[in-house]
Structure 1
Amino acid sequence: MLRGLATISFYADDMKAARAWYEKLLGIEAYYNVPNAEEPAYVEFRFGDFQCELGIVDSRYAHQQVGTPAGAIVHWHVDDLEAELDRLVELGATVLEGIVERGTNSGFRTAFVVDPFGNIIGIMNNPHYLEILEELKA
């Protein structure tokens, strides 16, 4: 049984640039660098309400073509979709799909950007995420 997302892996040709870009986006430093911080082949961040793991892998180890938008889209919940979309663009991401309402008055809204390394980042307002978070707090 699938129990939840454990780690999301993105790929980059320039690991140092990718690490710096994601440190700026997330507002934290990578806590894990392999084999070391000076020449990383893999870096990892833990962030958010559930300490999600985001790994950046050197594209030499990719199982698919890297550098063009492709692959599964992971949606990260954000509280202010417009502001986060603007911030991603300011950081150098390119809008792949602007804000779209999903369903009729459901509260689910999405947008997609491509990071400077070719990875698709989905962001969304997700009422279900907020419901689960509130249940866990109770």
Structure 2
Amino acid sequence: MFRGFATISFYADDLAAARDWYTELLGLEPDFAFPPAPAAPAYIEYRIGDDEDELGFIDRKYAPPGARNAPGGAVMHWHVDDLPGTFEKLLAMGAKEYQPITSHSNSDFTTASVVDPFGNVLGIMHNPHYLEIVEARQAAR
């Protein structure tokens, strides 16, 4: 039934500012914008990570009512190799702590999350199972 992560949608009132902030954070330009320039975009997307997962940004005026005013809901965690360093970078770039760095039950699983300057919850995680899956895929090639 579930085949894999397809996209995560974040919302912003100012897509140009969101594009600039995430371009700096990710170190890459968006892969797609609609409508195309020179029109102001209503949607932009990045392809990131080992599977080129889709991180999309939608003009907040198109958001469902519950996503228009306050952060909340499910937290999608992105694997990062250096969780403390990534967390500090996000805070230095103006994100606000949502969940502090938290180790889970005597394991190597560590999470944290922030609210980006546009009101979206961005989760980060160091996950040894994620690394095992990536290594297994590479070994199978």
Place the TM-score, normalised by the shorter chain, in its bin.
Answer: over 0.9
Residue aligning to 1:5: 5
Aligned-residue RMSD, C-alpha: 1.0
Q: Structure 2: how far apart are the matches of 1:88 and 1:62?
A: 24
Q: Secondary structure in 2 aligned to 1:60?
A: helix
Identical counterparts, % of pairs: 53
Q: Secondary structure in 1 aligned to 2:4?
A: coil
Deviation at 1:67, TM superposition (A): 4.1
Q: Structure 2: how far apart are the matches of 1:54 and 1:65?
A: 16
Gaps (5+ residues) in structure 1? Answer: none
Residue aligning to 1:27: 27
Deviation at 1:66, TM superposition (A): 2.2
Which amino acid in structure 2 is aligned with residue 54 of structure 1? L
Deviation at 1:103, TM superposition (A): 1.7
Which amino acid in structure 2 is aligned with residue 120 of structure 1? V
Q: Structure 2: how far apart are the matches of 1:114 and 1:44?
A: 19
After TM superposition, the structure 1 = structure 2 runs for residues 1-138 of structure 1, keeping only pairs within 5 Å, are 1-38=1-38, 39-63=40-64, 64-104=66-106, 106-138=107-139
C-alpha offsets along residues 93-134 of structure 1, whole Å, 9 cap, x if unaligned?
A: 001111111121x20000010000110011011011001001
Deviation at 1:31, TM superposition (A): 1.3
TM-score, normalised with respect to structure 1: 0.95
Q: Structure 2: how far apart are the matches of 1:37 and 1:92?
A: 27
C-alpha offsets along residues 4-45 of structure 1, whole Å, 9 cap, x if unaligned?
A: 111110000111101111111110011111012340000000
User: Is the Cα contact below 8 Å between 1:12 and 1:67 reproduced in 2?
Assistant: no
